[in-house]
Amino acid sequence: MNRKFCLDLTLDELKAWCQENGIQSYRAGQIYKWLSSGVTDTSDMNNVPKDIKAKLEENFIFGSFEVRQKLVSKLDGTTKLVFELHDGNIIETVVMRYKTGLSICISSQAGCRMGCRFCASSKLGFGRSLTSGEMFAQVAVSQKIVGERIRSVVIMGIGEPFDNFDEVMGFVKLANDPDGLNLGARHITISTCGLVPMIKRFTELDLQVNLSISLHAPNDEIRKSLMPIANKYSLNELMGACRNYVAKTNRRLTFEYTLFGGVNDGDEQAEELVRLLGKGLWHVNLIAANDVPGSAFKAPSKQRVRQFQEILESGGINATLRREMGQDIMAACGQLRRGMENKDK
């Protein structure tokens, strides 16, 4: 029998299961309360009788969301957690502290199939997609570890969320549920490298969830050299899907643009980006790449970053510079998982 992970269940599913098994339905409420507060081990559920715990374990996967590593940044309090899943796959989650409260960056897959050249997550290949409950568990368990409510979620960690569309949408539902995380859709952001058909599918759902596109280049040539997905969907197709999203949902879109020294950070590229985007309900989030040992990509100079931003703004494009969090604990996506799996091997 293929057992489901405990947090994949909704409260209604748990109630139905209790009913089928002759267990009073208020027990479902008790169990779900434990789960959504980050307790995944039945031995910690001290108001649940032993026979019910045994039945739960027989039917579902419990107690398997193990913290393998926890790092806290001395610079800004960013907490990075490495979790081991029940089948040995490793994922990463990062909790960041902003003025507005805690925000979490979760993984949607163990590994990634997209192969972006600058990304540590793609280097170890692909394990599998996560279930909605495994995404839920990252938030619930992290919340328990840091001892404070998490206010917003970005699905921007390891993996491409739109390569795991249904489970990610399942997570959004679990997160929205007042019995679950009780997080408004507006506090959730999905970041994609640009899977055009899935952007269209997402547009049709007309959710309040925020959408962010990893652009990283102003033309197809540079984008292809950074992101293999650009060989499948041209910038023309991608921008068409983005315009359609904004027109249909009237929601503001974010473009992520990582500046790599000498690759995409010149005046010429900034001017090209202004022409590509034109006027629209969107803004650009600029991120200065870090110098990572062994990486072919270099950080841009501070002067270049400033100039790039100025060109965008004088071209009428709203551009902000994203503060890098947890620089002392390798908080960029996939770096710890890579280190840990290399060590394990």
Ramachandran angles phi, psi of 192, nearest 5°: -120, 150
**Nearest approach, Cβ of residue 178 and ligand SF4 (Å):** 31
Among the listed ranges 117-125, 129-137, 142-150, 176-184, the one in contact with ligand SF4 (CB under 6 A) is: 117-125
Ramachandran angles phi, psi of 50, nearest 5°: -55, -45
The strand ranges marked E within 107-148 are 109-111, 126-129
Nearest residue (CB) to ligand SF4, 108 versus 309: 108
Q: Restricting to residues 321-340, which ones interact with ligand SF4 according to CB under 6 A? A: 333
Question: Active-site positions?
Answer: 92, 333
Binding residue for ligand SF4, selected from 11, 18, 106, 116, defined by CB under 6 A: 116
Among the listed ranges 39-47, 79-87, 112-120, 291-299, the one in contact with ligand SF4 (CB under 6 A) is: 112-120
Q: Nearest-CA neighbor of 256 among 322, 157, 317? A: 322
**Nearest approach, Cβ of residue 124 and ligand SF4 (Å):** 11
Binding residue for ligand SF4, selected from 10, 79, 121, 138, defined by CB under 6 A: 121
The strand ranges marked E within 27-162 are 60-61, 66-72, 79-84, 90-98, 101-106, 109-111, 126-129, 150-155
Place of tokens 């640009």: 194
Dihedral angle computed from the Cα positions of residues 155, 159, 160 and 162, in that order, rounded to the nearest 10 degrees? -70
**Which residues, including other chains, have CB under 8 Å from residue 12's CB and lie 6 or more apart?**
none
Binding residue for ligand SF4, selected from 8, 160, 167, 265, defined by CB under 6 A: 160
- Using CB under 6 A as the binding criterion, the count of chain residues that bind ligand SF4 stands at 12
CB 301 within 8 A of CB 261: yes
Binding residue for ligand SF4, selected from 56, 119, 317, 319, defined by CB under 6 A: 119
Binding residue for ligand SF4, selected from 39, 52, 112, 154, defined by CB under 6 A: 112
Alpha carbons 62 and 9: distance in angstroms, whole number: 12
Site string for ligand SF4, 282-321 (x = CB under 6 A): ----------------------------------------
Characterize the bridge pairing of strands 253-259 and 210-214: parallel
Alpha carbons 254 and 246: distance in angstroms, whole number: 11
DSSP classification of residue 287:
E
Nearest residue (CB) to ligand SF4, 223 versus 304: 223
Nearest residue (CB) to ligand SF4, 91 versus 319: 91
Alpha carbons 299 and 211: distance in angstroms, whole number: 26
Alpha carbons 137 and 140: distance in angstroms, whole number: 5
Partners of 64 in the beta sheet?
A: none
Among the listed ranges 74-82, 153-161, 174-182, 280-288, the one in contact with ligand SF4 (CB under 6 A) is: 153-161
Question: Considering the rule CB under 6 A, would residue 341 count as an interface residue with ligand SF4?
Answer: no
Question: Considering the rule CB under 6 A, would residue 193 count as an interface residue with ligand SF4?
Answer: yes
Nearest residue (CB) to ligand SF4, 194 versus 300: 194
Question: Considering the rule CB under 6 A, would residue 122 count as an interface residue with ligand SF4?
Answer: yes
Place of tokens 């990893």: 214
Among the listed ranges 32-40, 118-126, 141-149, 290-298, the one in contact with ligand SF4 (CB under 6 A) is: 118-126
Nearest residue (CB) to ligand SF4, 11 versus 119: 119
Cβ-based burial of 97 (10 A; exposed 0-12, middle 13-18, buried ≥19): middle
Among the listed ranges 71-79, 90-98, 115-123, 336-344, the one in contact with ligand SF4 (CB under 6 A) is: 115-123
* List of residues contacting ligand SF4 (CB under 6 A): 112, 114-116, 119, 121-122, 158-160, 193, 333
